A and B are shown apart, each in its own frame.
Chain A
């Protein structure tokens, strides 16, 4: 479970700290930094667990515009069982903003070092925290990302695995294609590769499809099942729906032929039930977009019930009144931003109004 995120000098996040619990709802006006937090996490994931180069992931254009400081700092605290991992990354951009290097990168577990990089030298530590080899290392990529799993670095590689279990995405149904060229283990930010991810899920997680189908039958009238059909070099995700009279062979549609809302329902229930017991964390940006009002509460209940029972942690960004009224005061993290200044967050609204629902208070701007 991600317990803490600290970001300094990334867009509107300046000396910004966010503490998270098991169920979280990020609230706030447009432009207050909610999605930016997801963006940072996604990029850190690409950097630490995906082996990307520093400038590709953290270009200078994302330095906070009103600050002259060339360094960016990112910190994560990740709880895995009883162990607490802390990851810190310091990036320095050069004067003309065309290059960037890692000034330091540190991973600790319960306060003891597992990896440290500074001034071009990487120091590796064994699983018993005794010092291991020191070696010159590339200034432009994560030293944590490149280490191959070995019997004596299981703690370090576990951190990477756990970081990869955080799914950071927001459904954009218009971008979702039925076509897939490969299985893909990572769902993209906008979920446009859902068909490829679904193929991976069907192959790698036995029973996932079987777990999803009964849930979708409850929410999509006439839903029957999925199939994947060859189409030249690609494959196409198909959805089988019952005939209107319920008799005869099911009708076959491309996934993209479903309505926007139906595609989002498929994705949201696939995330919840296809990965049950995998210990994933779901960081979802406006998952309620495109959903019928009747569908929001049942999905939200299924999601919050899953937390601690298969799903490790949930962080939602939402402006939906139903979600706000269910979660705002128990699990809300309230984002604020004065003018074009830095984003700030608190765990309580500045003001509450007796007799009004949280969504009604927010609609009037009376929460601040």
Chain B
């Protein structure tokens, strides 16, 4: 098999979120060649429905693979008008419908659920006061998020999200990352 097989799959509902996660992982020391972003069918806005449909396929693939190699599955979907817990519940429901157990203890599967969406986090990391209900501006190009990636990595290094208060959905994601860190 390939000497440098992918060990991290990123399943994301849009390319902005995928770009942000991938760049953050690389900043944290991940090998860019070992990250596979699942192609997002509609580019800048496939919607959480697409992620939900694909999730069980990727979870099965993860489980068949993780017994041999340390592998991660990162699932990213906007909370939109739901809470983070409600969005995670949709993935639990998808598992139940497919007859699969949901994420088990020790499985390196994490959920990145920005609320309202990734633009909320980007605005926060630009230093703007944000809430998780309003819509914030989108970048023209996904790679324009580079400074916010650096800011988040910096906050992670100091174990302190600044300025306070951070969006609760970002705090929840930081806790999720502990499942795959190290």
| Residues of A participating in the B interface, judged by any CB pair closer than 8 Å | 22-23, 218-219, 221, 294, 297-298, 301-302, 304-305, 307-309, 322, 325-327, 329-331, 357-358
Contact = CB atoms under 8 A, between A and B. Distances in A.
Contacts of B115: none
B43 A309 contact: no
Contacts of A327: 43
B143 A305 contact: yes
B15 interface: yes
Q: Taking each of B22, B42, B143, which has the highest tally of chain A beta carbons within 10 Å of its own beta carbon?
A: B143
Given A218-B33, A297-B36, A298-B32, A307 B143 contact: yes
Interface in B77-108: none
Nearest to A292: B2
A353 to B, nearest CB: 10
B41 interface: yes
Interface string B37-63: 101111110000000000000000000
Contact of A329 (B2, B4, B42, B146): B42
28 contacts: A22-B141, A23-B141, A218-B4, A219-B33, A294-B2, A297-B36, A297-B37, A301-B32, A301-B35, A301-B37, A302-B32, A304-B143, A305-B19, A305-B143, A307-B141, A308-B141, A308-B144, A309-B143, A322-B39, A325-B39, A325-B41, A326-B37, A326-B40, A329-B41, A330-B15, A330-B44, A331-B43, A357-B39
B158 interface: no
Interface string B1-39: 011100000000001000100110000000011011101
A298 B43 contact: no
Nearest to A324: B39
Interface range on chain B (Cβ under 8 Å from partner): 20 to 34
Contacts of A326: 37, 39-40
A304 B143 CA distance: 8
A321 B70 CA distance: 27
Contacts of B22: 301
Contact of B43 (A22, A302, A307, A330): A330
Contacts of A219: 33
B41 A357 contact: yes
Given A297-B37, A330-B43, A357-B41, 6 more contacts: A23-B141, A221-B3, A298-B33, A302-B32, A305-B23, A325-B41
A357 B42 CA distance: 9
Contacts of A357: 39, 41
Contacts of A294: 2
Q: Taking each of B4, B23, B33, B44, which has the highest tally of chain A beta carbons within 10 Å of its own beta carbon?
A: B33
A334 to B, nearest CB: 14
A327 B146 CA distance: 20
A218 B4 CA distance: 9
A307 B140 CA distance: 13
A200 B179 CA distance: 48
A219 B3 CA distance: 10
A298 B30 CA distance: 13
Contacts of A307: 141, 143
B170 to A, nearest CB: 23
A362 B98 CA distance: 29
A301 B32 CA distance: 9
B19 to A, nearest CB: 8
A221 B43 CA distance: 33
Q: Taking each of A297, A301, A322, A331, which has the highest tally of chain B beta carbons within 10 Å of its own beta carbon?
A: A301
Contacts of B2: 294
B33 A358 contact: no
Contacts of B33: 218-219, 298
A67 B151 CA distance: 58
Contacts of A330: 15, 40, 42-44
A325 B44 CA distance: 13
A331 B140 CA distance: 12
A326 B142 CA distance: 13
B167 to A, nearest CB: 26
A358 B144 CA distance: 26
Contacts of A325: 39, 41
